[in-house]
Structure 1
Amino acid sequence: MTTHSIPTPNPDLYTEEEISQLVHNFYAKARKDPGLGPIFEEHVIDWDAHFVQMTNFWSAQLRGTSRFRGAPMPKHIALPELNSDLFKRWLHLFKETTHELGNPALKHHADTVATFIAGRLWLGYQMGNYPERHPTELFADTH
């Protein structure tokens, strides 16, 4: 497995507006996606609160703010019948969104964090739901 270091958050490189745009644009895509959309629609009860939470999360990751409060792993482990293709699709849509924002520094940083998160959530999901199986890495089949 190749590990990449995650860039240090930098409030000078990304604005809160860019982060809000990233979150809103990404979820606009994800909600329309045939695989991801139904999952989000079933499990996100309050979209306004979700947008605030996700904006706070990405602001913490990219700008170093400390507004995020939450534990993403248990919420994802509790979702039924996820698979590696869904995590890969999430990441694909996320990277498509960061590309469209036109800030190369934001794209690199957010994509690096998102790739790390997708891999960790997938491993945690497998360990939480299939403890008898050996977990597979999300990108084990790529070079």
Structure 2
Amino acid sequence: MPTPDLCTEEEVAFLVHDFYARVRADDALGPIFERHVHDWTRHLATMVDFWSGALRGTARFRGTPMPKHVALPGLSAALFQRWLALFGATTATLPNAALAERANDLAARVAESLWYGYQMSRQADPLPEAL
């Protein structure tokens, strides 16, 4: 359950910015993000809103991440695992252990949900034109 007592907005912003700096520098994930994120200032602000809501309950995030991720070509389970590894490496540097634990749990659920949605979108059989 999100709670404002878990962490500060500054801690959330640090987590998001540090994590995406790692993503952008990563050999596997960096090129994917660079191809699809055209306004990093806006993306980071959106991600801070997302994680603030998920961790602190601020409810600022307004968006639908699934369609954006489903539209990406060529994703793999290995890329989602890489995303989680970078996230874990980022949270490991946080002095707030409760924040790190909660963020890691949420990241695992987010990755699982997005990967499941991605797979379902690729395996869906199209309806025949005439039933």
Task: Give TM-score scaled by structure 2 length.
Answer: 0.93
Q: Which residue of 1 aligns with 2:89?
A: 96
Q: Which runs of 5+ in 2 are unaligned?
A: 126-131
More helix, by proportion: 2
CA distance in 2, matches of 1:54, 1:110: 13
* 2:31 match: secondary structure: helix
What is the root-mean-square deviation in Å for CA atoms of aligned residues?
Answer: 0.8
CA distance in 2, matches of 1:95, 1:24: 14
Q: Which residue of 1 aligns with 2:10?
A: 17
CA distance in 2, matches of 1:74, 1:13: 30
2:71 maps to a residue whose letter is A
CA distance in 2, matches of 1:113, 1:13: 14
2:97 maps to a residue whose letter is P
Q: Describe how 1:21-100 pairs up with structure 2 within 5 A.
A: 21-100=14-93
CA distance in 2, matches of 1:66, 1:13: 15
2:7 maps to a residue whose letter is Y
CA distance in 2, matches of 1:95, 1:11: 22
Displacement of 1:10: 1.2
Identity among equivalent pairs (%):
56
Q: Which runs of 5+ in 1 are unaligned?
A: 1-7, 133-143
CA distance in 2, matches of 1:45, 1:116: 26
1:129 maps to a residue whose letter is R
Which one has the largest radius of gyration?
Answer: 2
Displacement of 1:131: 2.2
Moved over 3 A (4+): none
